[in-house]
Amino acid sequence: MVVGRKWVYVKPFDGLPKDENFRLEEEVFSDELKENEFLTEAEFLSVDPYMRPYMSSYPVGTSMIGGQVAKVTASRHPNFPVGAYVFGNFGWRTHCLVDPRKLPAESQPYVLPSFGRHPRSLALGVLGMPGNTAYFGFLELCQPKEGETVVVSGAAGAVGSIVGQIAKLKGCTVVGVAGTDEKCAWLRELGFDATINYRAVGESGFAEALKKAAPKGVDCYFDNVGGYISVAVLLQMNLYGRISVCGTISNYNEARAQVADPQREFVFKQLRQEGFIVTRWHKRWMEGIEANLRWIEEGKLTYQETVTKGFERMPEAFVSMLTGGNTGKAVVKV
Ligand SMILES: NC(=O)C1=CN([C@@H]2O[C@H](COP(=O)(O)OP(=O)(O)OC[C@H]3O[C@@H](n4cnc5c(N)ncnc54)[C@H](OP(=O)(O)O)[C@@H]3O)[C@@H](O)[C@H]2O)C=CC1
Ligand SMILES: CCCCCCCCC/C=C/C=O
Domains of the chain with bracketed CATH: 2-125+304-333 (3.90.180.10), 129-278 (3.40.50.720)
8 Å CB contact between 252 and 49: yes
Q: What is the mean pLDDT of residues 267-276?
A: 92
% of the chain surpassing 90 pLDDT: 95
d(CA 182, CA 162): 17
Across the chain, the runs of DSSP E, i.e. the strands, are: 2-9, 22-29, 38-46, 68-75, 85-88, 95-98, 110-111, 149-153, 173-178, 194-197, 218-223, 237-245, 272-275, 305-309, 329-333
Inform me whether the pLDDT recorded for 258 exceeds 80. Answer: no
pTM attached to this predicted model? 0.98
Helices and strands (H, E) in the chain, number of each type: 9, 15
Q: Probe ligand 1: pick from 45, 233, 248, 249, max atoms within 8 Å of CB?
A: 249
**Greater confidence, 235 or 268?**
235
Which listed ligand is nearest to 278 at the C-alpha? 1
Quote the pLDDT of residue 31. 84
CA 63 to centroid of ligand 1, rounded, Å: 22
Q: What is the mean pLDDT of residues 304-311?
A: 98
3-state helix, strand, coil in the chain (%, to 5): 35, 25, 35
Inform me whether the pLDDT recorded for 115 exceeds 90. Answer: yes
8 Å CB contact between 333 and 121: yes
Confidence of residue 25 (pLDDT cuts 50, 70, 90): very high
Confidence of residue 264 (pLDDT cuts 50, 70, 90): confident
Which listed ligand is nearest to 124 at the C-alpha? 1
How distant is the alpha carbon of residue 132 from its chain centre? 9
pLDDT (tens digit, 9 = 90+) per residue, 55-108? 999 999 999 999 999 999 999 999 999 999 999 999 999 999 999 999 999 999
Determine if ligand 2 sits within 6 Å of the CB of residue 125. no
- The upper half-sphere exposure of residue 81, i.e. CA atoms within 13 Å in the direction of its Cβ, equals 1
Question: Collapsing DSSP states into helix, strand and coil, what is residue 191?
Answer: coil
Inform me whether the pLDDT recorded for 285 exceeds 90. Answer: yes
**Greater confidence, 166 or 260?**
166
Q: Probe ligand 2: pick from 57, 63, 279, 285, max atoms within 8 Å of CB?
A: 279
Confidence of residue 262 (pLDDT cuts 50, 70, 90): confident
Q: What is the mean pLDDT of residues 255-280?
A: 87
* Residue 276 phi, psi (nearest 5): -155, 160
d(CA 267, CA 274): 15
Quote the pLDDT of residue 255. 84
Q: What is the mean pLDDT of residues 239-266?
A: 89
Give me the torsion for CA of 108, 111, 117, 118, rounded to 10°: 20
Length of the chain: 334
Inform me whether the pLDDT recorded for 259 exceeds 80. Answer: no
Q: What is the mean pLDDT of residues 160-170?
A: 98
Quote the pLDDT of residue 180. 98
pLDDT (tens digit, 9 = 90+) per residue, 127-161? 999 999 999 999 999 999 999 999 999 999 999 99
Quote the pLDDT of residue 261. 78
Q: What is the mean pLDDT of residues 221-239?
A: 96
Can you tell me which atom of ligand 1 is nearest the CA of 177?
A: 38
Q: Probe ligand 1: pick from 136, 224, 303, max atoms within 8 Å of CB?
A: 224
How distant is the alpha carbon of residue 108 from its chain centre? 18
ipTM for this prediction: 0.98
Burial class from Cβ neighbours inside 10 Å (0-12, 13-18, 19+) for residue 223 reads buried
